[in-house]
Chain A
Amino acid sequence: MLIKLSGGTLIDPANGIDGEVRDLYIHDGRILHEAPQGERPQKTYDLGGKLVMAGAIDLHTHIGGGKVNIARAMLPDDQRSHPRERTALTRSGGGHAAPSTLAAGYRYAEMGYTSCFEPAIIPTNARQAHMEMADTPMVDTGGYAMLGNDDLLLQLMSEGVSQEVINDYVAWTLHATQCIGIKTVNPGGISAFKFNARELDIDERHPHYPLRPRDIVRTLSRALAELGVPHPLHVHASNLGVPGNHSSTLATIEAAEGFPIHLTHIQFHAYGTEGDRKFSSAGAEIAEAVNHRKNVSIDVGQVMFGQTVTISGDTMHQHANRSHAHPRKWTCMDIECEAGCGVVPFRYKDKNFVNALQWAIGLELFLMVDDPWRVFLTTDHPNGAPFTSYPHLIRLLMDRTFRNEQLAQINPDAAAMSLLGSLERQYSLYEIAIMTRAAPARILGLADRGHLGAGARADITVYRPSDDAERMFGTPMLVFKDGQVVVEEGRITAPVKGSTQVIRPEYDRAIEQRIGKWLDRYHSIGMANFRISDEEMAEGIGSPVEIHACRPRSAA
């Protein structure tokens, strides 16, 4: 079937197109710029005056895996207060901060998203993450496997094995867990907490291994670069949420020694200690560092006011934050000599000085980092806020008047301590399209999405232009997934299932012997079961894999 999208205004930064009126065709789930010879469209959408973008991509959203499910189990009130009823086409199940997988998929699609990436997959829990994502309809998914607190990596590094051995282990992990990237969370710190350390700064020695977090960041970022994995090391830096943590964030950037590095939810890592309350914004310093180092990308982890739940692999800091739990409950878990997780519900209040300043710091970062290709639109769902607040966030970025109105509502001391009121920048639609489409596709190595070029996957979102960006991005007019209309006027019209995006760097299989022996000696799961096969993904887990290309492998 040939579909014609007639006369829409294209915003396609990956191809340098900003507001050109052009026809597009959809054929076999792919985008074409010309109708194939002799074929006439069976269906034509008249998109005159409408904006056409690629489907949006969220590169950091906690939508699947053990810790998300702990949050759901702990917070039945989150469901109760946000029910979603079944329809003739869609299943029931709601939620807000910790939505059901079904609700998350539907809601993402209703907002024009077509791919989402779970950033914190503990290798032994990868099956669960993929099963949950398989049950997240409408979107393609993928994940980043967590390394850097696993005793095997720490042991290998402590023994001083060559970088090549590390690279093989990293590559094996990507294969075994069916992931597309590697994340490190509080490098070494989750492990250190198991030894009762309550903090571990970037240059502090781990209580057991002769290693510093800095070593882990360097080794892993180098491994990914040498393996040709497109996505840089995804780093949740040391000292999450600690006043004054901007210095460890800057040191983490340095630790990559020029290798590509992505700092996630950097808002939570951009705090100074100035002022009476010893809590201040370091947004300007962090933004400057990012602006100057082209190997660095960030996502913000914007805070929005209201009830949410924080879920993180960073047990060390989640445990430290337990007294802030709202409602008053929290869970922490040490997991399989690999990592851990902590779940602490939280309510951000606009009249609270710290929360208000967190909100302002996030916006400062968005507005002070110059290059929209290196800053990504996230709330670190649900840690800063649920992903459903993206349209509101986009309006804050695009509309200075609106932003200043909101600024006037927050804790006045926080507002006074932030540069936000003086920042005049307003994001353009083109820049929003970069940060939500073109850039995430590029940084993940997804050549066939995030753009509207010929041959791209036909994941397309059509908006009615509006002065109110929140309204416009909240309810797109049409969403196509793989060439099929799945959302009309913000409502699901065709439920579909996605696939899992993976990457397969080459490695020397000799590493498997070493890993296998380690698992046999110390673990409770053997090699054969650790690893998830393609057949298992497709038939058992229910989300077949799609393999994306690596860059050529470079020498260690």
Chain B
Amino acid sequence: MWSTAAREALQPITCPFCGLLCDDLTLDTTDPAQPRLAGGCERARTESTRALTQASAHCLVDGAVVGLETALTRCAERLSQSQAPLLAGLATDVNGMRAALALADGCGATLDHMGGDALFRNLLVVQDGGWLTTTLTEARNRADLVLLVGTECHTRFPRLVERVLAPPEALFGEVAERHYVLLGPWSETAVPSDLPRDRTTVVEAPKDQLANLGSLLRGLVAGRPARADAIPAVDGAQLTALAEQLLQASYAVVVWSAGELAAPHAELEIQTWVELVRDLNETTRAAALPLAGTLGDITTNQVCTWQSGYPLRTSFQHAGPSYDPLLNRYQDLLAREEADCLLWIDAVSGEQSVPATSIPTLILGRADMSFERPPEVFIPVGVPGIHHPGHWYRSDAACPLPLGQLRDSDLPSVAQVLGQLLERLRAQA
């Protein structure tokens, strides 16, 4: 629920700590001094406790405590001097990203998200050929066969099985007849304990063979003369059976998390899964469920796309946006010294996320953010969904949800800080 007033206890609360965006949490205020999130997963409780109890922080300029005005003045100076500012990190909410886009258009900055690599593994596939996907509720009610690619989906998205893959009941078909196939190096990992053992099949495969496995599976599904045992480390009989299962399923759902698929040119692997899904739709129904959205990659990409017409990795250096998913990768811009000022935004992760660079660095970060080296400017900002309300996109990109405010806070939001910064830049111009 959108709420600008700090919460009473026990209202449904939306969790901003992974792309599932569970909205069934509550606030436990038994101890008013120490409000805690109840429900949700372990990560939600740890992260929210950390965010709720973080000490307040001050703005810093060159390591010295200053007021917000002074910090903003320094930021404005730096940005107006800069020929090629980089606005990256971008772990923020919809309004934070709206402000980032206005600022980028105003000062000629380039935009990229801290999770850009994973985001673009999927996006390059969409731009190349498109895809066929489904959403959490649809998969929850309709899947009769679930193919999990890789071994990390359920740890990256802790309530995936509970809320989507194996819910207590579904509208169509019996959840008790749903089958699960896990593809990946599962011998090294514990199979999710909330999946039913008798209906879960593990197809053991090394990580670097997943792309080949996908192609082979496509061949088998299409009835092409493919040798099921062509990949030495993978059981061919299992693949033949899987191909048949996919063809027989009414609604197979193929799940991956691009953040996990980190091999070079992982987009080619993702493309294989996308094409497998599309092949299946020639005769039956199937859909992909790409998991993402943690730290706001989907959120900021959506806003960037509607306002600029392009996804992230777009630069406003010239008179309008120009998009280049390869050239505008923030790590490379820093490494090639093509940026001369970094404005890093991380209102969510609380990790040590700031990239090492020698160019002037301005940070909008959580109050409890730690640095290896103090940046030129640090402005502490609130966490959306904890200190101020906001909007955040779920993994499936179809459902932005409102984030409430859990406690009173004098921390400004990213949107507020960037808005003031843009005003200053305009006043100077």
Given contacts A333-B133, A343-B130, contact A127 B402 (CB under 8 A): yes
CA distance A99 to B24 in the complex (A): 36
Given contacts A335-B138, A540-B2, contact A528 B12 (CB under 8 A): yes
Cβ 8 A contact of B399, one of A131, A525, A528, A536: A525
Contact at A100–B170, with CB atoms within 8 Å? no
Cβ 8 A contact of A529, one of B1, B131, B250, B284: B1
Q: What 0/1 pattern do residues 383 to 414 of B give for CB contact below 8 A with A?
A: 00000011100000111111000000000000
A128 within 8 A of B: yes
Q: How far is the CB of B48 from chain A (nearest CB, A)?
A: 17
Residue of B23, B307, B323 ringed by the most chain A CB atoms within 10 A? B307
Contacts of A334 in B (CB 8 A): 133-135, 138, 142, 287
Interface residues of A in 325-346 (CB under 8 A from B): 325, 328-337, 343
B281 within 8 A of A: yes
Residue of B1, B171, B398 ringed by the most chain A CB atoms within 10 A? B398
Contacts of B309 in A (CB 8 A): 72, 78-79, 93-95, 98-100, 103
B209 within 8 A of A: no
Contacts of A132 in B (CB 8 A): 306
Given contacts A69-B302, A194-B251, contact A79 B310 (CB under 8 A): yes
Q: How far is the CB of A512 from chain B (nearest CB, A)?
A: 14
Contacts of B14 in A (CB 8 A): 529
Nearest-neighbor residue (CB-CB) of A345 within chain B = B130
Contact at B130–A522, with CB atoms within 8 Å? no
Contacts of B307 in A (CB 8 A): 91, 93, 100-102, 135
Q: What 0/1 pattern do residues 78 to 99 of B give for CB contact below 8 A with A?
A: 0000000000000000110010
Contact at A536–B305, with CB atoms within 8 Å? no
Q: Which of B54-62, B186-194, B195-203, B314-322 contacts A (4 or more CB under 8 A)?
A: B314-322
Cβ 8 A contact of A526, one of B24, B142, B170, B172: B24
CA distance A541 to B309 in the complex (A): 19
A84 within 8 A of B: yes
Contact at B305–A69, with CB atoms within 8 Å? yes
Contact at A92–B319, with CB atoms within 8 Å? yes
Contacts of A208 in B (CB 8 A): 172
Q: How far is the CB of A361 from chain B (nearest CB, A)?
A: 28
Residue of A78, A100, A195 ringed by the most chain B CB atoms within 10 A? A100
Contact at A524–B391, with CB atoms within 8 Å? no
Q: How far is the CB of A443 from chain B (nearest CB, A)?
A: 28
Contact at A536–B2, with CB atoms within 8 Å? yes
CA distance A528 to B130 in the complex (A): 33
B31 within 8 A of A: no
Nearest-neighbor residue (CB-CB) of B169 within chain A = A521
Q: How far is the CB of A343 from chain B (nearest CB, A)?
A: 7
Interface residues of A in 516-538 (CB under 8 A from B): 521-526, 528-529, 532-533, 535-536
Nearest-neighbor residue (CB-CB) of A76 within chain B = B323
Q: How far is the CB of A375 from chain B (nearest CB, A)?
A: 31
A151 within 8 A of B: yes
Q: How far is the CB of B308 from chain A (nearest CB, A)?
A: 5
B121 within 8 A of A: no
Contacts of A122 in B (CB 8 A): 398
Given contacts A73-B311, A93-B309, A528-B12, contact A522 B105 (CB under 8 A): no
Cβ 8 A contact of A135, one of B2, B172, B306, B311: B306
Contacts of A69 in B (CB 8 A): 302, 305-306
Interface of B is mostly: mixed
Given contacts A128-B302, A535-B4, contact A522 B137 (CB under 8 A): yes
Cβ 8 A contact of B402, one of A76, A86, A540: A540
Cβ 8 A contact of B400, one of A128, A329, A522: A128
Interface residues of A in 102-121 (CB under 8 A from B): 102-103
Contact at A151–B171, with CB atoms within 8 Å? yes
Contact at B306–A336, with CB atoms within 8 Å? no
CA distance A128 to B323 in the complex (A): 23
Q: How far is the CB of A73 from chain B (nearest CB, A)?
A: 5
Contacts of A535 in B (CB 8 A): 2, 4
Given contacts A127-B402, A128-B400, contact A93 B132 (CB under 8 A): no
Contacts of A131 in B (CB 8 A): 94, 303, 306, 391, 400
Contacts of A529 in B (CB 8 A): 1, 12, 14, 23, 401-402
Q: What 0/1 pattern do residues 4 to 26 of A give for CB contact below 8 A with B?
A: 00000000000000000000000
Contact at A336–B135, with CB atoms within 8 Å? yes
A74 within 8 A of B: yes
CA distance A9 to B59 in the complex (A): 60
Contacts of B98 in A (CB 8 A): 135, 542
B45 within 8 A of A: no
Contact at A86–B320, with CB atoms within 8 Å? yes
CA distance A15 to B172 in the complex (A): 54
CA distance A70 to B142 in the complex (A): 23
CA distance A66 to B126 in the complex (A): 14
Given contacts A524-B163, A529-B1, contact A337 B137 (CB under 8 A): yes
Given contacts A103-B309, A540-B95, contact A331 B141 (CB under 8 A): no
Contact at B306–A328, with CB atoms within 8 Å? no
Q: How far is the CB of B144 from chain A (nearest CB, A)?
A: 12
B123 within 8 A of A: yes
Given contacts A336-B137, A522-B170, A524-B136, contact A539 B105 (CB under 8 A): no
Contact at A331–B131, with CB atoms within 8 Å? yes
Given contacts A76-B323, A100-B306, A151-B171, contact A332 B132 (CB under 8 A): yes
Q: How far is the CB of A450 from chain B (nearest CB, A)?
A: 28
Contacts of A524 in B (CB 8 A): 23, 136-137, 140, 163-164, 399
Contact at B250–A196, with CB atoms within 8 Å? yes
Contacts of A124 in B (CB 8 A): 137, 398-399
Given contacts A79-B309, A151-B171, A525-B23, contact A333 B132 (CB under 8 A): yes
Interface residues of B in 260-310 (CB under 8 A from A): 281, 284-285, 287, 301-303, 305-310
B102 within 8 A of A: yes
Contacts of B155 in A (CB 8 A): none
Interface residues of A in 128-147 (CB under 8 A from B): 128, 131-132, 135
CA distance A337 to B391 in the complex (A): 22
A321 within 8 A of B: no
Nearest-neighbor residue (CB-CB) of A343 within chain B = B130
Contacts of A68 in B (CB 8 A): 306
CA distance A540 to B391 in the complex (A): 8
Given known contacts A329-B127, A522-B141, A526-B23, what 8 new A-B pairs fall within 8 Å (CB)?
A74-B126, A80-B323, A86-B319, A195-B285, A332-B130, A332-B133, A523-B140, A541-B391
Report 27 cross-chain contacts, Cβ distance below 8 Å, ordered by A residue: A70-B126, A72-B306, A72-B309, A73-B127, A73-B301, A86-B320, A91-B307, A92-B105, A93-B308, A93-B320, A100-B306, A132-B306, A194-B251, A195-B250, A330-B130, A331-B132, A334-B134, A334-B135, A336-B135, A337-B141, A337-B171, A522-B141, A522-B170, A529-B1, A535-B4, A540-B390, A540-B402
| 4 closest A-B pairs by CB | A536-B2, A92-B320, A85-B319, A100-B309
